[in-house]
Structures are given as structure tokens and as C-alpha cells.
Amino acid sequence: MNEALIANLRAQCGGPRDGALLRFSLGNALLSLGDAPAAAEELRHAVRFDPRYSAAWKLLGKALLAMEDRAGAADAWTHGIEVARERGDKQAEKEMTVFLRRIEPKDAS
């Protein structure tokens, strides 16, 4: 099912329907199949199309964390938190704040 969905979404890339939502959907489908690198690439496209798309920032952070890129995930979530605050998207802000806290290095003191 997801492979057919991914093929359908990829077929629309570069066409008149290409945009943040299409790339987010493609990234989400790829991540659900475990292809974090391809998902991250599509989610980066999504935030280029719409830098104020907080859900795309959140999912980009998850994809980067799945690739063990903690710094990249932290950067995505930090940016996503700023975007969510600007938009008044309290739920996304809270979620990304929790994700960010979970990956922050613990104090050695």
C-alpha cells in the first residue's frame, strides 16, 4: 500500500500540485517505510516550499533522529518551535520541545 502511495506522490513531484503538503505526505510515507534519508530529503523540500510548516519541521527532526543526526534533529526542532510559536501552534510547539529535551545532553555534574 505505502509503495503504491509513494509512487503516486513521486509522480506528482515537479508538477502543478508540487508543494509543501505533497512533499510532507511523501516524506511521511517514506519515513513510515523506514527510509529516513529519503524522507528527510522530501521534508527539506517541504520546508523550502513553506518555511512556516511546523508539522514538516517536526517530522524532519524525527527523520534526522532516525538517521542518528542528533544535531540536525535539534536544529530542525528548534526552528520548528520558533515557527510554531509564531503561528500559535501550541501543540506542535509542546511536542517539539519535548523531543528536543529528550536529545539534549545531560549535565555531567
Structural domain containing residue 86: 1-103
pLDDT value, residue 50: 97
pLDDT digits (tens), the chain, 109 positions: 688 999 999 999 999 999 999 999 999 999 999 999 999 999 999 999 999 999 999 999 999 999 999 999 999 999 999 999 999 999 999 999 999 999 987 654 4
What CATH number corresponds to the domain at position 2?
A: 1.25.40.10
Q: How many domains does the chain have?
A: 1
Q: 109 in a domain, yes or no?
A: no
Is residue 39 within 8 Å of residue 63, measured between CB atoms? yes
Q: 95 in a domain, yes or no?
A: yes
Q: 14 in a domain, yes or no?
A: yes
What is this structure's pTM? Answer: 0.92
**Rounded distance between C-alpha atoms, residue 10 and residue 91, angstroms:** 30
What separation, in Å, do the N-terminal and C-terminal C-alpha atoms of the chain show? 50
CA 28, 31, 33, 38 torsion-angle sign: positive
